[in-house]
Structure 1
Amino acid sequence: MIRRLLPIRDRRLALRRKGATPPWLSLLFRVALAFALIGVALAIFWFDRDGLRDNADGAISFTDVVYFTIITITSVGYGDIVPVSDQARLFDSFLVTPIRLFVWLIFLGTAYDFLLKGAWERWRMKVIQRKLQDHVVVVGYGTSGSEAVSELIRRGTDASTIVVIDERPAAIEAAEDVGATVINADATRNATLDAVQVGHARALIVAAGRDDTSILIVLTARRLAPDVPISVIIRSEDNEALARQAGATTVINPASFAGLLLAGSTHGPHIADYMADLAASDGRVALHERRVTAEEVGKPLAAILTGLGLRIYRGTECYGFWQPEVGKLQTGDLVVEIVPKSEAQPVAPA
């Protein structure tokens, strides 16, 4: 199912996803199609054989029709040297002509690359775009971006619903190998984010590698997708506030998170272990966010039965399990809870 990306400098954006059809099967299809066309021509000449004349013996046999079909399709002419025996004609038809057919396939393949592939890519892009809904967009397929994609897949996300944006061909190929939809483009441009339907995405992850680039991407994305959750990797603590002002929902500093684990380990050997357990896809427990159900409205956070309630989000405010505001849940509250890994579900859009 897939295609070759056009570089952004060509001013054409192309989505692609690695397909299950191997190259040899595509080639076999082309060969089969060529022989099918020859079969159609052969049937036409056979039913119209009375309109043909053989200057050698005056009779039109099936061999004559096969021979005539082949030389007609390949535009081969012998002039005054004409094979008249069945053996010679069959030899030319079934041994020589396949060689010519493969040569024609090379020319047809070249014509496809230069004339048809662009239109094919545009059509494929439109097909993929129509299906992009509730997907995850990942900008940057470096260390952090690739780990995020791998973790999403481990947590049950269909790889085809992950769209990776990167300008490096090697990164694009690596992302394509895991089954993601990819686009070789600059994520700071409106056209790129429009191409991946960021407004219909479930979430946007920005791991561009540079804080200034990441913040610019967040600004661009937030204008196009006001309601989409945006998570961004920021490496300098000074830029975390800027990222939030740009519209990031979640700002993650890898160094700070590593520091939390290291500091936690000094206060007890199991604290860092539990934090890693929460974060890992193969841990025993997981953090889960969901909306309060109708049955839970009016009850305290401690009374929920689905997991261990930690905090609620009410509008723009956040309340911990120890605060009096969580004593009575309200419609629209978001609950963050710890649940067994087997019961963890993807977060529903707010």
Structure 2
Amino acid sequence: MKLILKLLVGIIAGILIGLVGPEFIVRLMITIKTVFGSFIGFIIPFIILFFIASGVAGLGQRSGGLVGKTVGVAYLSTFLAGIVAFFVASIIIPNISSGYQSIEEGTAALEPLLNIEFTPLMGVVTALITAFVFGIGVAKTGSATLKSMFDEGKKIIDLVISKIIIPFLPLYIAGIFAELAYEGTVFETLKVFGVVLVLAICTHWLWIIIQYITAGSISKRNPFQLLKNMLPAYFTALGTMSSAATIPVTLRSTKQNRVKEDIANFVVPLSANIHLSGSVITIVTCTVAVMTLTPELAMPSFTQMIPFILMLGVIMVAAPGVPGGAIMAATGVLMTMFGFNEAAIGLMIALYMAQDSFGTATNVTGDGAISVIVDQVSEKSK
């Protein structure tokens, strides 16, 4: 919650600087935004490489049948959540955004004081393929040396995110909104984005209900009683903004739903790393909003969105347990598949971080539903 308050301060400060600040200060804020945005682009391939390679390699150490069931249910949940979010967003957002000024329109844009470009060492697709090649290879060969290398690399990138990127985000967001305010489009953008955030949260709740109706039907239990038992995990995740940090509460709530202890102890920690239905709902909803408001980004069709959602489910495997890890991993896909520029990426990060706690709470609560389903499937397979 402290991060959200800092981001809110950054937004307000950025708007005030853009509206009444001297041109030099506005250009300084734009410079900070540009340089930091380039640094984020540089880090993205490392996030993909180390997090996915470490996560996939770790799966090889666990029971194959149970891993397959858990990964399959979690990935299906994440994919279907993205599909639901796309239909909801594509129906509602174009209607609420009609008549508003585009985020690219307004007065002439200011140039940064200087441009420092960090060239990524590899592309997003290259990082993704490399991660799976080495992750699967380590899982098959059991190479302790490579496994340790990827785990240590993941820890280093975790530190970069938690100690550099996350603390610097309020200033980065301030630069984005200073530029929007200077160009005269900030208030129109905020009006639309306020509705988008409410829409994302409502879609979260809709998907949670769908998950528990499904779990209740499979287990022949009251879905709303199952959901009631998971509320402590939901509200804990609102405060921690981390699926990993909420695991102890998620485990306790899941066991209250009569999930076998060995199943819960396995499925909950694994799902905390691979099940991100709430995060995908937010990213898809915000993607539709940003593309609707940005002239050079064409609204994707349903067939174009399917590969994007499928890729999101893969790219966020073992996303870091720090706030904002999912969107950091997803920015590479947004740039590669939809051509998002720096301004669009900045707005995506601002939108995502504003509701990160709700997305995480949805992920965590959904882990309980997945545990019930896997428990029932495992019992029937016996």
Relative to the length of structure 2, the TM-score reads 0.17
Q: Which has the larger radius of gyration?
A: 1
Bigger RCO of structures 1 and 2 (CA < 8 A, at least 6 apart): 2
